[in-house]
């Protein structure tokens, strides 16, 4: 079958012919119809420090998908050929302390689809039955292919109450923008979003941000919020400066959820901005399995247009590089690839 692969330990991705995967007894074989290109795929494309340290070529990349079940292993009970499904791309080991105490999303031995194991940028992908998510018929394919990043946003938002709260979101990349939509739909009192990119700020407005700023600004945020700062900070940028300033913008007793990954150490005023304020901080990784998936599904059922403004490109899979370029130059947000015509 055709697939988008990382062929060698260097920049770029290639279209290549690879072996179609076969499902083990507890696995499900999915005929992929749509996939989303993630920031992670861009890191792999660019072969940055993280990618070079983690990826072992050759590898089929990609982890955001929707498709139709083609075949199932003999021990599979809850999934049938013809089911329309997406899937959780983090495959927990199932044996460690975290996995056995309902915290599979922070399994130390996790295998990630398209990072550690064969991914979904291909007409077929295999996943364990436990990772398969049957998609509600009300949710269209293009949106269902985005459960993974939408789940990151959902997990970050849902780490604390946001209804009736004044929320600051630093970073309006895809996941930050999704978080704006979730806070808006989830009854936040005010959503303040910060991003230096004007195109992303405009999308932030479309997603329901009440105020957009080029940078989180302590004075400004304290001025427009009711209790001397944001009740909640959702840090989605990973930018050290945004993190430092973000903490300054949170009110005493506020909460912070951190999803953005900084390239290096970050400095914050430990005493003033953390201890004396009595902040509660959540580090967010992946999606809670599977509470986040249920939350995503109910939000998409109730808010059928929530994700639509974020899909800036719909491309046939062969044109994936056009999508990556658009992400690189800041004109693309979510890129959805169509695999219907791929050679199997």
Binding-residue total with Zn ion (CB under 5 A): 9
Is 96 a residue that touches Zn ion (CB under 5 A)?
A: yes
- How far apart CA 60 and CA 112 sit, in angstroms, is 12
Is 211 a residue that touches Zn ion (CB under 5 A)?
A: no
- List the interface residues with Zn ion, window 251-280 (CB under 5 A): none
Q: CB of 99: closest distance to Zn ion in angstroms?
A: 3
Q: Which of 92, 171, 186, 208 binds Zn ion (CB under 5 A)?
A: 92
Q: Which is nearer to Zn ion, 66 or 192 (CB)?
A: 66
Q: Which of 29, 32, 38, 167 binds Zn ion (CB under 5 A)?
A: 38
Is 148 a residue that touches Zn ion (CB under 5 A)?
A: yes
Is 99 a residue that touches Zn ion (CB under 5 A)?
A: yes
Q: CB of 90: closest distance to Zn ion in angstroms?
A: 10
Is 106 a residue that touches Zn ion (CB under 5 A)?
A: no
Q: CB of 110: closest distance to Zn ion in angstroms?
A: 7
Among the listed ranges 96-104, 246-254, 261-269, 292-300, the one in contact with Zn ion (CB under 5 A) is 96-104
Q: CB of 103: closest distance to Zn ion in angstroms?
A: 9
Is 88 a residue that touches Zn ion (CB under 5 A)?
A: no
Residues within the interface to Zn ion (CB under 5 A): 38, 64, 92-93, 96, 99, 107, 148-149
């Amino acid at each position: 079958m055709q697939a988008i692969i990382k062929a060698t330990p260097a920049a770029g991705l290639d279209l290549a012919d690879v072996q179609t995967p076969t499902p083990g007894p507890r696995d499900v074989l999915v005929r992929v119809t749509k996939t989303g290109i993630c920031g992670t795929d861009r890191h792999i494309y660019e072969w940055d420090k993280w990618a070079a340290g983690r990826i072992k070529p050759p590898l089929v990349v990609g982890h955001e998908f929707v498709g139709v079940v083609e075949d199932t292993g003999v021990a599979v009970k809850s999934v049938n050929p013809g089911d329309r499904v997406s899937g959780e791309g983090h495959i927990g080991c199932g044996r460690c302390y975290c996995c056995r105490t309902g915290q599979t999303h922070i399994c130390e031995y996790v295998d990630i689809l398209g990072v550690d194991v064969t991914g979904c940028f291909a007409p077929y992908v295999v996943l364990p039955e436990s990772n398969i998510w049957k998609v509600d018929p009300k949710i269209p394919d293009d949106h269902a292919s985005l459960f993974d990043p939408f789940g990151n946003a959902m997990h970050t938002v849902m780490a604390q109450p946001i209804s009736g709260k004044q929320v600051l979101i630093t970073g309006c990349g895809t996941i930050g923008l999704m978080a704006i939509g979730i806070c808006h739909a989830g009854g936040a009192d005010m959503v303040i979003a910060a991003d230096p990119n004007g195109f992303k700020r405009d999308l932030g407005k479309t997603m329901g941000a009440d105020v957009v700023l080029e940078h989180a600004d302590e004075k400004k945020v304290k001025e427009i919020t009711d209790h001397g700062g944001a009740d909640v900070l959702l840090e989605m940028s990973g930018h050290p400066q945004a993190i430092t300033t973000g903490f300054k913008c949170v009110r005493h007793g506020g909460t912070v959820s951190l999803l953005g990954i900084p390239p290096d150490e970050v400095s914050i005023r430990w005493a003033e901005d953390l201890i004396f304020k009595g902040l509660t901080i959540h580090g967010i990784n992946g999606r809670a399995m599977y509470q986040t998936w249920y939350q995503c599904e109910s939000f998409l059922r109730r808010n059928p247009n929530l994700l639509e403004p974020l899909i800036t490109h719909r491309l046939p899979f062969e044109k994936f590089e056009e999508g990556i370029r658009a992400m690189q130059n800041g004109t693309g947000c979510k890129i959805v690839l169509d695999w219907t015509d791929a050679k199997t």
